[in-house]
Amino acid sequence: MGKTSEGVSTVARTKDRQRALARAKLERQIARRAAAARRKRQIQAGTAAGIALVLVVLGGLWIGGVFEPDKVDPLAQKCAWTTEAAEGSKDVGRPPTEKILENGFQTMKLTTNKGELEALIDVSKVPCTAASFTFLAGKDYFKDTKCHRLTTEGIFVLQCGDPAANGKGGPGYKFADENLPTPAASTPATDPSASASAAPPAGKVVYKAGTIAMANSGADTNGSQFFIVYQDSTMDPNYAVLGTVTKGLDVVQTLAKAGTAEGNTDGAPKEEVVIQSLTMSAGEPAPSASASTAPSASSAPSASTS
């Protein structure tokens, strides 16, 4: 049986609708693709702008030095104030670790019940030691402390700076050796007429009269104890030289003549010596040619012995 005109019309409308649906689907796909492309372009543009901004910021930071490695002050590393708790310690804090004076000279002034002494310190040779004494002096650390040890044979020193007055006290921290003297290279020929300062034995040094050096209990264990050499003394080169007495050495030499309290060659001074104050001047330029400078050699007894 053939199709009626009504059947043909229905089929045509169905095909038209299918084509319309297909066209609409295609248009939606095209629209979605266009939208996706716009979003992609926007994202890419935003990303590029963001990257550009980041690069600009990073460039500014780089120019400003933000990404440079932290600059470590070698002097701050050297002046490491290592905690060392000990019997008789008097802890008043720690010296600074930055802006440490590196050059110039300082004057140490010791006022004692026996008289005054002054010493010249070449800071370039002992920046850490000078910084420690400057800090402790500012805290009145040495006020009313006794010089606890006098040695009158073999070596000739007066040892001070111990708040416990027994050879064991300190500031609660220690620091490394500085300005150690160079020992004699070989044993000199025997000459009875030669002075000790002229010919130290191999491995020894002569600490000249007037030398101030750090007492210690071993390498790199400096604290607050120091000694004053009142007569040339031959010792091991194990004690950091702080400076030289420029005024008042006769005060120490006079009390040394009285000997020790027990009459021994090594012990507490018979005439009690009390530091009433110890001060450190601010940095100064080089002294005149006539002024004394720090000696190249010096030595002292261990801070652990009394």
* Residue 166 DSSP symbol: S
Residues 138-164: tens digit of each pLDDT: 999 999 999 999 999 999 999 999 999
Strand partners, 152: 156
Q: What is the pLDDT of residue 293?
A: 44
* pLDDT (average), residues 30-36: 79
Mean pLDDT score of the chain, rounded to an integer?
A: 84
- When mean pLDDT is compared across 4-8, 42-46, 194-198, 204-208, the lowest value belongs to 194-198
Q: What is the pLDDT of residue 35?
A: 77
Burial of 153 (0-12, 13-18, 19+ CB in 10 A): exposed
**266-267 and 155-160 beta bridge pairing:** unpaired
Q: What is the pLDDT of residue 88?
A: 78
* Domain ranges within the chain, ordered by starting residue: 1-68, 74-280
Joined tokens for residue 39:
């979003």
Residues 41-63: tens digit of each pLDDT: 878 777 777 777 777 777 776 67
* pLDDT (average), residues 256-275: 96
- Which region, left, alpha or beta, applies to residue 182 given φ > 0 means left and ψ of -120 to 50 means alpha? beta
Domain 74-280 has CATH 3.30.200.20: no
How many CB atoms are closer than 10 A to CB 12? Answer: 10
> Rounded CA gap, 298 and 306, in Å?
19
pLDDT more than 70, % of the chain: 81
- When mean pLDDT is compared across 23-32, 69-78, 97-106, 109-118, the lowest value belongs to 69-78
Selection from 47-51, 72-76, 102-106 with the highest mean pLDDT: 102-106
pLDDT more than 90, % of the chain: 57
pTM, 2 dp? 0.71
